[in-house]
Structure 1
Amino acid sequence: MISRLISTTGILLSLALLTGCQGTSPLADSAAAYPQVQSLAALSKQSPVTRPLNIQSWRTAEGARVLFVAATELPMFDLRLTFAAGSSQDGKQPGIAMLTNGMLNEGIAGMDTTAIATGFENLGADFTNGAYRDMAVASLRTLSDPTKSGPALDLFARVVGQPTFPSAAFERIRNQLLTSIDYKQQDPGALAGDMLMKRLYGNHPYAHPSIGTADSLKTITPAQLRTFHQRAYTAGNAVIALTGDLTRAQAEAIAAQVSHALPKGPALPQVAQPSPPTGGITHIEFPSEQTHLLLAEQGIARRDPDYAALYLGNQILGGGGFGTRLMTEIREKRGLTYGVYSGFTPMQVPGPFTITLQTRAEMSQNTLALVQDIVRRYLAEGPTQKELDDAKREMTGSFPLSTASNSAIVAQLGMIGFYDLPLTFLDDFMKQIQDVTPEQVRTALNKHLSADRFVIVTAGPTVAQQPLPPAVERGATPLPSVPEH
């Protein structure tokens, strides 16, 4: 109680200092002493202010698309390159995209990986990279002071545009990936996830793990990485996102420098549309106490016009944590799992919609049936107006965080550029969120999902099944008494 009182006092004192109020006691009739504090009560009824983004866009001479937002609050800037160079471009060599990206900062002419890391560190700059199914990225954060940003940009351009793929580093990183694949054999969730994508996408490039397979990794050579880099890390295959303490002229110069340093070449063709999968259950036998349950369907592409309605619909079903239909029915009412989650992953072509959870092995089959029943009822009914209003309110409150920092902004710019979304996408998305109706959500969900089309993978032991415990409504169970000592 004392700590709470001190905390309250500190907050009110801070508010008084910020608003220039005068008063003798911050706890005595605070509403009267500090009338400005009354405005806090109204904040919950207002939509949070979203940071407006004046997105400017152009193309470099080599064909790279550039998206730029000036943000002069801090003396630094963020640069993010996004290439259509994810594992969907692996072809017949699964893992080559991840290996190529992982080795960008392992060596350039005259510098090994230690020298590169030291170079960025001495300039106060930060280099990061990663590869996924659709894309590969490389990012730089640096101070905008030209004495720091100039050398940092030079080093970044060489790392991304002219990596040497040294043999010793190649063997080390390949062995790390092979070790990760070995560890997967002891992880039923990882095994189930790989099987789910294989079942869901068949022979499509999304089907194989981004990390590759043990057989494919053993056949890849440094020379093949150089060839992949020359084909996939071209300026024409890149989106350059920039935000921070820069003028338009400075941003143009930086984009031109980076674009010129990349290999010359066009954008790679977009991956083909996947064929619809055949629903059904695949079981992976695994000695464990719990069973992993994974359900999936092919969902939507990133540019699908139903994205806003489906996003809200999924928040109500299982994407919003506690209070969702899946969490309420499976965890809160029956205690069958620690957590159950659902989500759409929109990609260049329809990405997966998934539902994932773990439960006791002896309850797994009936829990799976319960999940399917919850989805079936939700698709038939759609959300209630209250559920939709609550989801909108939560989304409105959290959305400003998506542009609250330079790193968040540059990630949004990269996404908008890579998926060729309108420059007004963020504003358009929030307007669509506010305007969507329960019936529109129900229609969109039924257009893209069916409780009878799920591809299902389970991983766990085969044991005798038990009936589920009865549902207990929240608040119906009395609190346990305090034990006597």
Structure 2
Amino acid sequence: MTERTGQRHGLFGPVLPLLIAALAMPAIPAVADTAAPRIESLASISKEAPGYRSLDIQSWRTAEGAKVLFVEARELPMFDLRLTFAAGSSQDGDAPGLATLTNGMLNEGVAGKDVTAIAEGFENLGAEFGNGAYRDMAVASLRSLSAKDKREPALALFAQVVGKPTFPEDSLARIKNQLLAGFEYQKQNPGKLASLALFERLYGQHPYAHPSEGTEQSIPAIGIDQLRAFHAKAYAAGNVVIALVGDLSRSEAEAIAAQVSKALPAGPALPKVAEPQAPKAGLGHIDFPSNQTHLMLAQLGIDRRDPDYVALYLGNQILGGGGFGTRLMEEVREKRGLTYGVYSGFSPMQVAGPFMINLQTRAELSEGTLKLVQDIVRRYLAEGPTQKELDDAKRELAGSYPLSTASNADIVGQLGAIGFYDLPLTHLEDFMEKAQTMDVEQVKAAMARHLDPDAFVIVTAGPTMAQKELPPPTDKPRQEPIGVPEH
């Protein structure tokens, strides 16, 4: 169960290290030049976004009701196809893990081919298949050469895999055993235990509460008939977004979309899950024999279409989402050496996804560190960002923006998200334009609207032990930051 490009809930991935590396590399002139190349500092970069790959997104629906988004890109003789189904674990019902098992079984067997033959079929064509299941969605993807003699057989095999999987019993037993082995491993991972407990407390009886991979109680009971029934309704043509990018004409893209759409079961889109109810704030602790304590704080955030999305993105980059230089990293790591890293982030989904802060620290300093984090959030929500912090966040965003469309794989992922969350086709351009015009008061107001310093659900995992006072802040912490986090 792999997904080539991964799943990004935010607009951009972790690009700060790439930016630092790019800024540190001197330009290499094409011809001899008597003047040495000059490296500009981040502060001198214009606030305007640099040049980026302009996307002409075309959209239509197939006869079966599938939404299609297409970008023609002739630079390379290949194409990327990504199907995004509303078939994530939020649709599991009373069988947690059903969506993950169904998705994982797609390429395990079709008529006349077992999992090995399917893998060899793609490999012999120079094609690559990917799949994955998450809370909101499940995906299946294909990367193939665009030449007709490679494209057509790759698409025929892909259409079989996603449209008519046979769900062989031996493969189901193997995948179940892999999941069950993973659950045993999780019991030795305090961070994973804390995460599972946090989502249960944050979402209660909501479908987002259970883990996408299911549980050791639910997985053994899931049978072939359930997989087939789930596939028939959740992998229906009316429940998918087809994203296409690459060396294709509009007519070729239409033919591919029609072929894939016809191969899927007939049926409408599944209803969106209900909105979650706000949980009761409070602290829970998991006693675990480790040197470090995991601290996780969360509250309900926003859905992907929230009008405050841009302001919250910028606000969180300043608080804890932007790596080094954030409020949390500066106060917790740089001034006190309490952690290797501390991060915050919104994960917008179909309905309110979580806002989370997570870190690890020395067990004997965990209570003080937790209070420090809460105080930082409280102060930030009361004061808002400074003008310099906002300007820096805008410049970082302007620098990272081209990376969001740097490759066909990046673009097809963006198209899948735009289609799945029903965003405007101009979403990427709109996001950048709105971000660059955002002011301090707008960011402060949005963060205050959506976050409450007293509403956090908190889960800690680590040993129960006598606590020590935190070291005072200093430019040179007496103790170096804690080493690589425990897993």
TM-score, normalisation: structure 1? 0.91
Aligned to 1:30: 35
Aligned to 1:44: 45
CA contact (8 A) 2:350 2:421 kept: yes
CA distance in 2, matches of 1:11, 1:390: 22
The answer to whether residue 201 in structure 2 is matched with residue 187 in structure 1 is no
What SS does the aligned partner of 2:293 have? strand
What SS does the aligned partner of 1:295 have? strand
The one-letter code of the counterpart of 2:363 is A
Aligned to 1:386: 388
CA contact (8 A) 2:83 2:242 kept: yes
Aligned to 1:455: 457
The one-letter code of the counterpart of 1:60 is T
Within 5 Å, give how 1:359-378 maps onto structure 2: 359-378=361-380
Among 113, 116, 123, the residue aligned to 2:115:
113
CA contact (8 A) 2:45 2:395 kept: no
Aligned to 2:18: none
Among 21, 30, 35, the residue aligned to 1:16:
30
Summarize deviations over 1:363-385 as a string: whole Å, max 9, x none. 00010000000000000000000
CA distance in 1, matches of 2:30, 2:241: 47
Stretch deviating more after TM superposition (48-57 or 234-243)? 48-57
CA distance in 2, matches of 1:100, 1:38: 54
CA distance in 1, matches of 2:463, 2:41: 54
Aligned to 2:317: 315
What SS does the aligned partner of 2:135 have? coil
CA distance in 1, matches of 2:429, 2:317: 19
Within 5 Å, give how 1:249-268 maps onto structure 2: 249-268=251-270
Aligned to 1:304: 306
CA contact (8 A) 2:49 2:401 kept: no
CA distance in 2, matches of 1:76, 1:285: 52
CA distance in 2, matches of 1:465, 1:216: 39
Summarize deviations over 1:349-397 as a string: whole Å, max 9, x none. 0000000000011100010000000000000000000000000000000
Q: Any unmatched runs of 5+ in structure 1?
A: 1-9, 18-22, 32-36, 480-485
Higher relative contact order (CA 8 A, sep 6+): 2
CA distance in 1, matches of 2:41, 2:357: 38
CA distance in 2, matches of 1:83, 1:41: 43
Stretch deviating more after TM superposition (37-46 or 264-273)? 37-46
Summarize deviations over 1:401-434 as a string: whole Å, max 9, x none. 0001000000000000000000010011001110
What SS does the aligned partner of 2:307 have? coil
Aligned to 2:65: 63
The one-letter code of the counterpart of 2:195 is G
CA distance in 2, matches of 1:11, 1:302: 39
The one-letter code of the counterpart of 1:176 is Q
- Give how far 1:55 is off: 0.5
Summarize deviations over 1:231-271 as a string: whole Å, max 9, x none. 10000000000000011100000000000000000000000
Aligned to 2:87: 85
Aligned to 2:4: none
Change (3 A) 1:15 1:84: same
CA distance in 2, matches of 1:209, 1:317: 27
Aligned to 1:241: 243
- Give how far 1:50 is off: 1.7
- Give how far 1:16 is off: 3.0
The answer to whether residue 405 in structure 2 is matched with residue 403 in structure 1 is yes
CA distance in 2, matches of 1:309, 1:299: 13
What SS does the aligned partner of 2:217 have? helix
> What RMSD over aligned residues (CA atoms) do the two structures have, in Å?
1.8
CA distance in 2, matches of 1:325, 1:11: 30
CA distance in 1, matches of 2:75, 2:38: 30
CA contact (8 A) 2:297 2:459 kept: yes
The one-letter code of the counterpart of 2:415 is L
Aligned to 1:431: 433
Within 5 Å, give how 1:69-148 maps onto structure 2: 69-148=71-150
Among 341, 352, 355, the residue aligned to 2:354:
352
Among 465, 468, 473, the residue aligned to 1:466:
468
Among 290, 294, 303, the residue aligned to 1:292:
294
- Give how far 1:41 is off: 9.4
Name the % identity: 68
The one-letter code of the counterpart of 1:298 is L
The one-letter code of the counterpart of 1:234 is A
Number of aligned residue pairs: 453
What SS does the aligned partner of 2:259 have? helix
Among 311, 336, 340, the residue aligned to 1:338:
340
CA distance in 2, matches of 1:39, 1:291: 42
- Give how far 1:190 is off: 0.3
Aligned to 1:7: none
CA distance in 2, matches of 1:252, 1:458: 51
The one-letter code of the counterpart of 1:166 is P
What SS does the aligned partner of 2:218 have? helix
Moved over 4 A (4+): 37-43
Summarize deviations over 1:67-91 as a string: whole Å, max 9, x none. 0000000000000000000000000
Summarize deviations over 1:255-308 as a string: whole Å, max 9, x none. 000000000000000000001100000101111111000000000000000000
CA distance in 2, matches of 1:316, 1:47: 19
CA distance in 2, matches of 1:216, 1:68: 39
CA contact (8 A) 2:332 2:339 kept: yes
Larger Rg: 1
Aligned to 2:12: none
CA distance in 2, matches of 1:418, 1:323: 33
Aligned to 2:15: none
Question: Counting helix residues as a fraction of each chain, which structure ranks higher?
Answer: 1
TM-score, normalisation: structure 2? 0.91
- Give how far 1:40 is off: 8.1
